[in-house]
């Protein structure tokens, strides 16, 4: 991720005069050049902005990167703990800071990376929530009179796709003849295909018939808002939350719960780990294995609790 300059003298001048703000801009440009996804770039940008805001509030020479120390990083981590942020969130923010400082070290803007010896917070071991059969059936029932909303919930439950992936779906991504859904440039910049069961195909066909009677402005987007434009993620979240409330589901349920539900139920029905990993778009096998554990605990316990 190094920066190339014409001469050693010119590079030395750059190193001596580069500000923290300039360094962050160069870092973000480097990530963009490495084809990081827009979502990842936003996450890095937000985390680093929060870090620099905190540093700026605690010392006046914050824009001099050569004044960074381990105290800055540890102080920010303590601040996050005081804000009751989860260990997972703090670990992510520390990773962003480490990557920035490593970039600055590599390009000789700073002499060393003060974040290397900072220990990350312990991650909380929380099992993701899932819906049992009677719960997701109730969810679908409440949405059954609304073709778009029903198709959205059905697609989440029967494909396990992410929120951002659903919002980005285009008409061409649904192959009705072969019953296949294509997820383009999902997480990790890798396309994947998901076989569609008949229930999803039926719900999508029904939605498209309804869609043809509505205002359509973004005609290549699959799921549209009421004004005919592409559906944003906030609207999808609100839609799911509305039917969760109508269905009388008391536990905390979000869009990602539907993805967890898909993974756990597929694992419970003995879908192979490699297949489940491919369908869900997991980069690491360990992520997929969590659903095997989830199926063995939550779903098995549900059977015990509801035994006749």
Domain that holds residue 195: 133-305
pLDDT of residue 3: 53
Residue 197 lies in a domain: yes
Residues 99 and 23 in one domain: yes
Question: Tokens standing for 258?
Answer: 């539907």
Residues 203 and 241 in one domain: yes
Residues 208 and 142 in one domain: yes
Q: Residue-wise pLDDT tens for the chain (308 aa)?
A: 655 544 555 555 556 678 999 999 999 999 999 998 888 999 999 999 999 999 999 989 989 999 899 999 999 999 999 998 888 898 999 999 999 999 999 998 998 898 988 888 776 555 567 898 899 999 999 999 999 999 999 999 999 999 999 999 999 999 999 999 999 876 556 789 999 999 999 999 999 999 999 989 988 999 999 999 999 999 999 999 999 999 999 888 999 999 999 998 888 888 988 999 999 998 888 888 887 777 666 655 555 455 54
Residues 177 and 299 in one domain: yes
Residue 231 lies in a domain: yes
pLDDT of residue 45: 94
Residue 201 lies in a domain: yes
Residue 66 lies in a domain: yes
Q: Quick one: which of 80, 70, 52, 79 has its CA closest to 113?
A: 70
Residue 150 lies in a domain: yes
pLDDT of residue 5: 46
Q: How far apart are CA 9 and CA 157, in angstroms?
A: 60
Residues 197 and 155 in one domain: yes
Output b/e per residue, 250-260; b: 16+ Cβ within 10 A: eeebebebbbb
Residues 86 and 147 in one domain: no
CA distances from 222 to 158, 205, 209, 228 (A): 17, 11, 12, 11
Q: Is the CB of residue 143 less than 8 Å from the CB of residue 150? A: yes
In DSSP terms, 182 is beta-bridged to 193
Question: Tokens standing for 272?
Answer: 């192979």
**Structural domains of the chain, count:** 2
Residues 12 and 84 in one domain: yes
Residue 118 lies in a domain: no
Residue 252 lies in a domain: yes
Residues 62 and 144 in one domain: no
SS3 assignment for 46-100: HHHHHHHHHHHHHCCCCCCHHHCCHHHHHHHHHHHHHCCCCHHHHHHHHHHHHHH
Residues 261 and 172 in one domain: yes
Q: Is the CB of residue 66 less than 8 Å from the CB of residue 18? A: no
Q: How far apart are CA 99 and CA 101, in angstroms?
A: 6
CATH number, domain containing residue 92: 1.10.150.130
- What DSSP character marks residue 123? P
Residues 174 and 64 in one domain: no
Residues 28 and 94 in one domain: yes
CATH number, domain containing residue 247: 1.10.443.10
pLDDT of residue 245: 95
pLDDT of residue 220: 94
Residues 285 and 138 in one domain: yes
Residue 85 lies in a domain: yes
């Amino acid at each position: 991720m190094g920066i190339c300059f014409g001469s050693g003298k010119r590079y030395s001048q750059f190193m001596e005069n580069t500000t923290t703000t300039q360094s962050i801009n160069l870092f973000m440009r480097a990530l963009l050049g490495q084809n990081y996804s827009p979502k990842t770039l936003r996450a890095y940008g937000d985390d680093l902005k929060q870090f620099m805001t905190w540093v700026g509030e605690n010392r006046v020479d914050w824009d001099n990167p050569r004044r960074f120390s381990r105290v800055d990083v540890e102080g920010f981590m303590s601040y996050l703990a005081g804000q009751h942020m989860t260990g997972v969130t703090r670990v992510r923010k520390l990773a962003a800071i480490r990557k920035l400082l490593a970039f600055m070290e590599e390009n000789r803007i700073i002499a060393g990376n003060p974040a290397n010896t900072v220990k990350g917070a312990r991650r909380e071991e929380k099992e993701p929530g899932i819906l049992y059969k009677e719960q997701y059936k109730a969810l679908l029932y409440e949405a059954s009179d609304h073709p778009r909303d029903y198709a959205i919930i059905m697609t989440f439950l029967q494909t396990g796709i992410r929120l951002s992936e659903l919002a980005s779906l285009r008409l061409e991504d649904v192959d009705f003849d072969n019953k296949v859904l294509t997820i383009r440039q999902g997480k990790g910049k890798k396309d994947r295909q998901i076989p569609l069961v008949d229930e999803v195909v039926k719900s999508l066909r029904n939605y498209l018939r309804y869609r043809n009677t509505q205002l359509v402005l973004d005609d290549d987007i699959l799921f549209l808002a009421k004004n005919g434009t592409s559906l944003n993620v906030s609207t999808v979240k609100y839609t799911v939350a509305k039917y969760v409330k109508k269905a009388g589901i008391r536990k905390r349920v979000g869009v990602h719960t539907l993805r967890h539900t898909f993974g756990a139920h597929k694992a419970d029905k003995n879908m192979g780990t490699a297949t489940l990993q491919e369908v869900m778009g997991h980069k690491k096998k360990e992520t997929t294995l969590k659903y095997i554990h989830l199926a063995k605990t939550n779903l098995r316990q549900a059977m015990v609790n509801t035994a006749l």
